[in-house]
Copies of this chain bind each other. A is one copy, B any other.
Amino acid sequence: MEDSMDDVVTIGEMCETFQVTARTLRFYEQKELIWPIRQGSRRLYDRKARARLQLILRGKRFGFSLEDIRQLLDMYERDGSNQAQLKQTYAVAIDRLRQMEAQRAELDVAITELKQELAEGEAMIADFRAAE
Contact = CB atoms under 8 A, between A and B. Distances in A.
Interface string A75-94: 00000000100110110011
A100 B90 contact: no
Interface stretch (A8-16, A44-52, A101-109): A101-109
B87 A125 contact: yes
Q: Chain A interface residue count: which class?
A: 20 to 34
B86 A124 contact: yes
A22 interface: no
Interface of A: 58, 61-63, 83, 86-87, 89-90, 93-94, 96-97, 100-101, 103-104, 106-111, 113-115, 117-118, 121-122, 124-125, 128
10 contacts: A63-B110, A86-B121, A90-B121, A93-B117, A97-B114, A97-B118, A100-B110, A104-B108, A104-B111, A107-B107
